[in-house]
Structure 1
């Protein structure tokens, strides 16, 4: 398995776990709301149900975001060769490795820290379309691209 494939699989696993966790939390809230509806009445009950509904909406929004990120990661071709930074590129700049995909947590693969960057983020959008040796600046930070995989 190539380095880029390891990175993709790690992020797919992270997202799958998060999606499963969010679905479980949503299911729990729905079950709690259903059980609460059977045994209570009054203003206090309606407030509790409204709070559960708001929490369920937040979780559904997070679930949708994670499903979208997983779909984005799933369609990345890890075998594609990049001369310019594009979706799925692994970019080395200033001794750091950036995976152009979606905004996700930093991971360690083979003792190397990988930072997932969205192509819409300030850094990601500056990197898109750049080649080896190019320089981008975000605020006071200057990044020089050393390698693109």
Structure 2
């Protein structure tokens, strides 16, 4: 398995863990709401139930966004090679390693930190389309594209 494939799988795992945690939280809130409805009615009861419903809606929205991210990430072929930076590319620069896909945070694989960037992010948009040997300047930092895979 290539380094890029390992990175891709780690980001998929990270996203799946997020989805699993959101589902656990939703299940927990559902149980809390069920318990709340078994209690006697009153202002405190209705306020607590309303708060639970708001929290459930927020979690559902986060779950929806995470599922969309998961679908987009699954469309990436980690075995694909790139000559130019594009979504799905793993890029080594003078400032670190970047996986151009979605804004999923940072992982460490084989003691190398890799940041997942979307092409809509400031750095991702500047990197998009560059080739090995190209440079860019962003916020006073110089990035030299060393390798793309």
Shorter-normalised TM range: over 0.9
Please tell me the root mean square deviation across aligned C-alpha atoms, in Å: 1.2
Match of 2:115 in 1: 115
Aligned residues: 149
- Work out the CA distance in 2 between the residues paired with 1:79 and 1:136: 27
- Runs of at least 4 residues off by over 3 Å: none
Look up the SS of the partner of 2:77 in the other structure: coil
Look up the SS of the partner of 1:92 in the other structure: strand
1:21-36 equivalences under 5 Å are 21-36=21-36
Tell whether 2:90 aligns with 1:90.
Answer: yes
Match of 1:127 in 2: 127
1:1-149 equivalences under 5 Å are 1-149=1-149
Look up the SS of the partner of 2:84 in the other structure: coil
Query: Aligned-pair distance for 1:95?
Result: 4.2
Query: Aligned-pair distance for 1:4?
Result: 0.9
- Work out the CA distance in 2 between the residues paired with 1:138 and 1:66: 29
Q: Deviations over 1:105-127 (max 9, x none)?
A: 21111111111111111111111
Unaligned runs of 5+ in 1: none
Query: Aligned-pair distance for 1:133?
Result: 1.6
